[in-house]
Structure 1
Amino acid sequence: MSDTEPTGAQPARVADPGIIVVMGVSGCGKSTVARQLAADLQAHFKDGDELHPAGNIEKMAAGVPLSDADRQPWLAEVAHYARIHAREYGLCVIACSALKQRYRQILNTAGSVVYVYLHGSRDLIASRMHQRKGHFMPEALLESQFAALEDPRSEDNVVTVDIDDDIPTISAHAVETLRAQGFLPQPSEQCFR
């Protein structure tokens, strides 16, 4: 399910956000949903985890939560990457946790950014983390992710999509919500490529 019905008067939106950040805690499906969303929108995709410096990955793999100081250069790199690739491709979809408002403020420096917040219960996300193999982020860090999360749902450039469905359906809900709230043009209005 998604928040497709705007409440009250709908604010004016930029039809082409340029950058869509699929965000949420580890295990919510950011990378998989962002990849599907990019394919659905014929946009460029990047997993923000690929931009982490080696030291960050080593810390997380060892079960050590990242500090704000650890995240700052990584977020700056994600913003830089998004800015360049949105210019090159017209639309860039990035998977990035963006847990705190100040992290989202760093990402907002990339240009016209909209966030798709993947929302789900702790139990659902924990079960997904338990099932995934080969990821550097251990299940033990999930609580630190929820503790760091500053709920983005009241922010103007955020849409929320529930994750209790399959990936194609979650992506379709994201597209529907982005269009309903004016962040993406309707299919008949414009093509990104």
Structure 2
Amino acid sequence: MSPNNIILMGVSGCGKTSVGKKLAAGLGIPFFDGDDFHPEKNVEKMRSGRPLNDSDRRPWLENLAELLATKKQDQGCVLACSALKQQYRKMLSAEGGEPIVVYLKGEKDLISERLRSREGHYMPPELLDSQFNDLEEPESAIAVSINQPVDRIVEEIIRKIELIQN
């Protein structure tokens, strides 16, 4: 596979980090979790139960776009990032060309259950509705159902990436 950036997108709790780590390991490229790049004020806002708005997200997305541009020059990377709106995905691709976007798609009930059982994350389950309200499902992305084991999700993503690159 040629070097490329892959963005794993979807609402909080859809498995971006778990899938991203395994996908990056399988492809032999670095993994980055977009959550690690949030400014502290964004983390505190979410921790307090308030959803982020577009102006909160702008500097975060600009930093991630720079990261993608740098990695595109190298071997590429896998980035876990909610990228809920089309304008966010456009910002992420502005610096480093067109990344491959993979949409981890799942039903709200399943994701809500996952969020309730997740420990140590600042994103409270109460913000899931705001995530689904902001979600603009991508038209030109690889969509993968999260209603299967992580290993199968990764296999499906790799298979679909290979198809579009050949």
Q: Kindly state the Cα deviation for residue 177 of structure 1 after the two structures are TM-superposed.
A: 1.4
Structure 1: distance between partners of 2:65 and 2:134 = 20
Tell me which residue corresponds to 2:100. Answer: 114
- Give the TM-score normalised by the residue count of structure 1: 0.82
AA partner of residue 51 (structure 1): F
Tell me which residue corresponds to 2:38. Answer: 52
1:135 matched to 2:138: no
Tell me which residue corresponds to 1:161. Answer: 144
Unaligned runs of 5+ in 2: none
How many residues are paired up?
165
Q: Kindly state the Cα deviation for residue 85 of structure 1 after the two structures are TM-superposed.
A: 2.2
Q: Kindly state the Cα deviation for residue 87 of structure 1 after the two structures are TM-superposed.
A: 1.7
Unaligned runs of 5+ in 1: 1-14, 186-193
State which structure, 1 or 2, has the greater radius of gyration over its C-alpha atoms: 1
Structure 1: distance between partners of 2:85 and 2:28 = 28
1:22 matched to 2:8: yes
1:175 matched to 2:161: no
Q: Which runs of 4+ in 1 moved over 4 A?
A: none
1:96 matched to 2:81: yes
Q: Kindly state the Cα deviation for residue 143 of structure 1 after the two structures are TM-superposed.
A: 0.2
Q: Kindly state the Cα deviation for residue 91 of structure 1 after the two structures are TM-superposed.
A: 1.8
Whether the aligned pair in 2 keeps the contact of 1:18 and 1:111 (CA below 8 Å) is no
Whether the aligned pair in 2 keeps the contact of 1:17 and 1:112 (CA below 8 Å) is no
Please give the root-mean-square deviation of Cα atoms over the aligned residues, in Å.
1.2
Classify the secondary structure of the residue corresponding to 2:32. Answer: strand
Structure 1: distance between partners of 2:132 and 2:3 = 27
**53, 59, 67: which one pairs with 1:67?**
53
Structure 1: distance between partners of 2:88 and 2:130 = 16
- Give the TM-score normalised by the residue count of structure 2: 0.95
AA partner of residue 88 (structure 2): Y
Classify the secondary structure of the residue corresponding to 2:158. Answer: helix
